[in-house]
Chain A
């Protein structure tokens, strides 16, 4: 598990599962369908990603394709980092 995924799972466990076990959450499972995030949760998630990983996330990037599963979020964060590094 990458450091990004580990941090992300910890955040989800603390904030959206209230201490529950995020380790068992499949990486490709929709966080909305799981009932873990709503409109407020999305904004909390974006704030977390910006603060934790030093990202600037544009409005156009706040879409389910980037943020609705652990796999999507990790890929999104990695992609942003890669673009910055390049």
Chain B
């Protein structure tokens, strides 16, 4: 796991180019503290910062073929590299190292850019093909590893994180107000847009080919679901067997490393599954890590203890207070490189620091299970909303909505009539492709009420949901509603927030690599072919996963309802133990200077947060969003650009 960066056709002398590569690499040191390397070859420069995990002795990068014609800078892991290596050796390729990096290099020689279709892994890499004068960038299917790029005239620059791009002459960090609108609607920018103007993300499952003056971006893999009425896997016994076998293998190959592998153990079903599978693969006494909270509303330490004892792991729990979260928030925003609406990435940032201090570089996590096997509450919510909408006059059906969100007491206490109103059962268009997520988007959008007049003017007429609809494939309309909701979660929020702000960024901040067995593309593809009823059976989420894994887990874990991972929010800034120094972020002078939000409205919100122990969802989202936008602005020291052009260059 590492950081990569580079450019094509950067103007200037060789010494300047080398200096630029060195600056780009230095900006990514946290991702790869073990070694730096740069490679300059004609118009192309490649940089690499290394976190040594596989082939510690000879895996240095950038790595070139013997003839120097092809060079790679690679971030990530190819989990099936041993199998691919054996295939390539059988074809006559000769290896100098035992690294997965060299496997990609030779696979590229054998297949060209199509080599990505053979890779099972989490990766972002750049390959410079000197003979063709072509730079190839590629990113893994699910978006585990990040990759950004910017074009300025004929020059193309790329990097694992945008902060490295900002060291290139001519690339400045200007906040993108359309991205701000997207985040304050759907929690994350809609790829390829990022939080900064004219900096693009290479979307998951895409590659970019660049020759001088010519860039093309194309998709090489697509999350696909069966059409309604098409054959799906309905046999539960068959599904149980296959899910178990696939997850076992996905875990087995993710234990490949020349350093010890640990695991995150939140106490929920998913991380318990990955930890149990690791143990079944021979990882006795695996090191496990978790976050605990003082506030019982968020804490899961009881379940963590049960699972740790059941599996005999060596467990470390990191106690996290609201003040701890606040004090780490500025650093997290600097790593996330975008405003965030939740504080939940921060405890994971603190946890990766604990992992680093413990000497580990790799952890398995349960991320992805909810997207792949239908675990999120929003899937149940959408199912019930459809059920209610089919009989609008029914007084009984809305009562089922009370069964949602048992951990939200304020919602529980509402009458069925109010629940109907909150969840929009009478007004949302069932044919809207975003139907499943409309209540979430509607609630989040309330946070836009705090935009300044200038920001409102700059985003007037823009509808982030239209942009989101435009990203959906043509086949989407023919899928089952659960598949549609899964697609939205898996292709937008998963890469845009879960795997980035709350995943790669906060783990790599401390040189820790997360590995995700549930996001093995074989698991994802098989789960997509399962009958929706095998995933969401009635209101029992992840039914097939529970059935497939129940013999590995204590019953209290196997049957535990989904408890979303959440962290304190307004309490981070206000109240006993809060990081009160952050309150300055809401000061009228601060807000007015930035020009992004309305100082008066923000003051009222801050005052309300100071006197009210718990705010509503939209208010918390606004509070965290405003604070992190200001932190981002301060970190990257760029004035906002209200005079934004809606037509983007990407």
Which residue of A33, A39, A64 is within 8 Å of B411 (Cβ)? A39
Q: Is B470 interfacial (CB-CB < 8 Å)?
A: no
Q: Are B614 and A68 in contact (CB under 8 A)?
A: no
Q: Are A39 and B418 in contact (CB under 8 A)?
A: yes
- Kindly supply a per-residue 1/0 record for chain A positions 13-54, scoring 1 wherever the CB is within 8 Å of any chain B CB and 0 otherwise: 011011110000000001011010011111100000000000
A14-B604, A19-B600, A19-B601 are known contacts. Are A38 and B443 too (CB-CB below 8 A)?
yes
Q: Are B418 and A41 in contact (CB under 8 A)?
A: no
Q: How far is B446's CA from A33's CA once the two chains are assembled, in angstroms?
A: 11
Q: Are B415 and A43 in contact (CB under 8 A)?
A: no
Counting chain A residues whose Cβ lies within 8 A of the other chain, the interface size class is: 20 to 34
- List B contacts of A40 (CB < 8 A): 410, 614-617, 619
Q: Is A56 interfacial (CB-CB < 8 Å)?
A: no
Q: Is B445 interfacial (CB-CB < 8 Å)?
A: yes
Q: Are B449 and A18 in contact (CB under 8 A)?
A: yes
A66 → chain B, closest Cβ, in Å?
10
Q: Is B618 interfacial (CB-CB < 8 Å)?
A: yes
- List A contacts of B601 (CB < 8 A): 18-20
Q: How far is B598's CA from A20's CA once the two chains are assembled, in angstroms?
A: 10
* Max chain B Cβ within 10 angstroms of own Cβ: one of A30, A33, A63: A63
B13 → chain A, closest Cβ, in Å?
55
A20-B601, A32-B422, A39-B411 are known contacts. Are A65 and B417 too (CB-CB below 8 A)?
yes
- Kindly supply a per-residue 1/0 record for chain B positions 148-183, scoring 1 wherever the CB is within 8 Å of any chain A CB and 0 otherwise: 000000000000000000000000000000000000
A18-B450, A19-B604 are known contacts. Are A39 and B417 too (CB-CB below 8 A)?
no
Q: How far is B427's CA from A64's CA once the two chains are assembled, in angstroms?
A: 14
A65 — nearest CB in chain B belongs to which residue? B417
B124 → chain A, closest Cβ, in Å?
38
Q: Is B431 interfacial (CB-CB < 8 Å)?
A: no
B592 → chain A, closest Cβ, in Å?
14
Q: Are B618 and A38 in contact (CB under 8 A)?
A: yes
B445 — nearest CB in chain A belongs to which residue? A35
A62 — nearest CB in chain B belongs to which residue? B415
Q: Are A39 and B442 in contact (CB under 8 A)?
A: no
- 399-435 of chain B: CB within 8 A of chain A: 408, 410-411, 413-415, 417-418, 421-422, 427
Q: Is B608 interfacial (CB-CB < 8 Å)?
A: yes
Q: Are B605 and A38 in contact (CB under 8 A)?
A: no
- Kindly supply a per-residue 1/0 record for chain B positions 589-623, scoring 1 wherever the CB is within 8 Å of any chain A CB and 0 otherwise: 00000000010111111001000001111110000
A19-B600, A19-B604 are known contacts. Are A32 and B421 too (CB-CB below 8 A)?
yes
Pairs across A and B, CB under 8 Å, 11 listed: A18-B602, A19-B600, A19-B601, A35-B449, A41-B616, A42-B414, A42-B418, A62-B415, A63-B415, A63-B418, A64-B417
**Given A20-B601, A39-B414; 11 other pairs, CB 8 A cutoff:** A18-B601, A18-B608, A35-B446, A38-B443, A38-B618, A39-B408, A39-B418, A40-B617, A43-B413, A60-B415, A62-B418
